[in-house]
């Protein structure tokens, strides 16, 4: 028998999941998929849900797209059960994850910074949009439960990731603004 869901639930603020997505160049999406699946597993008391494998499935071509759809559809099912009016858009999330993957593939090529920085920003925005959309659904679900205390907070590890990620972004932007070759007539 599965354990009962907790009476207190940590709610991830939307600004925090968006910032974590940006600071990790979209990699937070994989962690969030697993962590949110674990929350849904506890909530639904479904031992057949495997958060680690669910997150890893995102890197499996084609199959991962079905798992993304299932993830957001499951949140919709939970929202429907509470009577919440919010509905997520699983199909749009599939399109965003495809765009995220294609852009990330292009960014890994040897292309000038003037090209890869904007592409990386768009790819990161896709991942951030997916995480924020899903987290909004989960937050709405937990807020609609009468027997829960909702505590919005950012975990200390998440704060560390935000700081380190911000430093990396600043360094990447500075590095991308430095010319590859010295201008003619200058001495090195």
Secondary structure string (H, E, C) spanning 96-152:
HHHHHHHHHHHHCCCCCHHHHHHHHHHHHHHHHHHHHHHHHHHHHHHHCCCCCEEEE
Given a cut of 90, whether residue 152 has pLDDT beyond it is: no
Answer whether residue 66 is part of any domain.
yes
Answer whether residue 105 is part of any domain.
yes
Answer whether residue 119 is part of any domain.
yes
Q: Which domain holds residue 121?
A: 10-162
d(CA 67, CA 50): 12
Answer whether residue 188 is part of any domain.
no
Number of domains within the chain? 1
Answer whether residue 44 is part of any domain.
yes
Answer whether residue 64 is part of any domain.
yes
- The arithmetic mean of pLDDT across residues 152-163, rounded, is 93
- The arithmetic mean of pLDDT across residues 149-154, rounded, is 85
pTM of the model: 0.85
Instruction: Give the per-residue pLDDT at 4.
Output: 58
Instruction: Give the per-residue pLDDT at 7.
Output: 59
Given a cut of 70, whether residue 72 has pLDDT beyond it is: yes
Answer whether residue 3 is part of any domain.
no
Please work out, in degrees rounded to the nearest 5, the angle formed at the alpha carbon of residue 26 by the alpha carbons of 125 and 5: 105
């Amino acid at each position: 028998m599965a354990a009962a869901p907790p009476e207190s639930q940590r709610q991830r603020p939307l600004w925090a999941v968006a910032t974590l997505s940006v600071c990790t160049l979209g990699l937070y999406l994989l962690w969030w998929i697993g962590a949110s699946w674990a929350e849904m597993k506890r909530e639904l008391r479904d031992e057949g849900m495997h958060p680690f494998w669910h997150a890893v499935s995102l890197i499996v071509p084609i199959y991962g797209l079905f798992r993304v759809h299932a993830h957001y559809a499951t949140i919709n099912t939970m929202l429907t059960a509470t009577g919440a009016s919010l509905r997520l858009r699983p199909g749009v999330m599939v399109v965003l994850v495809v765009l995220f993957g294609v852009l990330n593939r292009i960014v890994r090529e040897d292309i000038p910074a003037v090209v890869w920085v904007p592409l990386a920003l768009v790819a990161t925005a896709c991942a951030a949009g997916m995480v924020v959309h899903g987290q909004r659904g989960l937050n709405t679900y937990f807020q609609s439960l009468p027997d829960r205390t909702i505590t919005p907070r950012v975990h200390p590890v998440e704060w560390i990731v935000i700081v380190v990620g911000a430093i990396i972004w600043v360094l990447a932007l500075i590095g991308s603004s430095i010319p590859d070759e010295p201008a003619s007539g200058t001495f090195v």
